[in-house]
Amino acid sequence: MSHELKLPNVVNIEDIEEQDQSVEDVWGTGFKPITPMLDDSSGARLGMNLTRVEKGKVSCPVHYHLNEDEAFYILSGKGVFRYGEQYQVVGPGDCISCPAGTQIGHQFANPFDEDLVYIGAGMNTKNEVCVYPDTGKAMVRGLRTVGTLQSEDLHDGEPVPPVIFSKALKTIN
């Protein structure tokens, strides 16, 4: 670091410890949250991170967001960016926009020798739904759940008579 940082909302990226987010042999990144005052505990709705994807790794399962826009800026290295069923090699200086609500999944992979390093910026809303189209999974942030959904009629499994009647009778009698 070349200068002294005094304000709590100013960080130097070199001072942030990288978090290993590897899962199995193919999934994983080195990850630095570079907006620490905008983390989940602050209630902030915007965040940025520095992500490093090593050779042979994929950033995460292909996914899209219903409510949160994301943008990525490639700092170094090369990678393959997937957008729906389209694929493109990306490198330094490329800026990628992934608008919410498009139902087009996105993902990075690195088949090259040099690490792919990029900054990601995106929203962080409490009620986000993130869909993983290759597996049919969804993440519902407000429920802190990732899983599959099964289509059912709204009234399937509802008790008859509805609970409100048995509870209401006790309350009003």
Per-residue pLDDT of 10-24, as tens digits, reads: 888 888 888 888 888
Predicted confidence (pLDDT) per residue in 121-155, tens digit: 998 888 899 999 999 999 999 899 999 988 889 88
Domains in the chain, please, with CATH?
Answer: 13-125 (2.60.120.10)
Torsion of CA 60, 65, 71, 72, to 10 degrees: 10
- Is the backbone peptide bond immediately before 92 cis, with ω within 30 degrees of 0? no
Predicted confidence (pLDDT) per residue in 69-92, tens digit: 999 999 999 999 999 999 999 999
Q: What is the pLDDT of residue 41?
A: 66
Q: What is the pLDDT of residue 162?
A: 84
What pTM was estimated for this model as a whole? Answer: 0.84
